[in-house]
Amino acid sequence: QVQLVESGGGLVQAGGSLRLSCAASGFIFSIYAMGWYRQAPGKQRELVARITSGRTTTYADSVKGRFTISRDNAKNTVYLQMNSLKPEDTAVYYCNLLNPGDYWGQGTQVTVSS
What's the confidence (pLDDT) of residue 6? 98
What residues have CB less than 8 Å from 114, skipping those under 6 apart?
14, 87
Which carries the bigger pLDDT value, residue 108 or residue 1?
A: 108
Q: What is the mean pLDDT of residues 26-38?
A: 97
Q: What are phi and psi of 85, to 5 degrees?
A: -65, 145
Largest interatomic CA distance in the chain: 40
pLDDT interval class at 16 (50, 70, 90): very high
pLDDT at 65: 98
- pLDDT confidence of residue 79: 98
Element holding 37 (H helix, E strand) = strand 34-39
| DSSP strand pairing (10-13 vs 108-113) | parallel
Give the H or E element holding residue 25. Answer: strand 18-25
Contact 34, 50 (CB under 8 A): yes
Collapse the DSSP code of 56 into the 3-class scheme (helix H, G, I; strand E, B; otherwise coil) and give the result.
Answer: coil
- Mean pLDDT across the stretch 19-29? 97
Residue 86 confidence (pLDDT) = 98
Side-chain half-sphere of 59: how many Cα atoms within 13 Å? 13
Digit-coded pLDDT (tens) for 34-92: 999 999 999 999 999 999 999 999 999 999 999 999 999 999 999 999 999 999 999 99
- In sequence order, what E strands does 40-76 have? 46-51, 57-59, 67-72
- What is the per-residue pLDDT for 100? 87
pLDDT at 101: 85
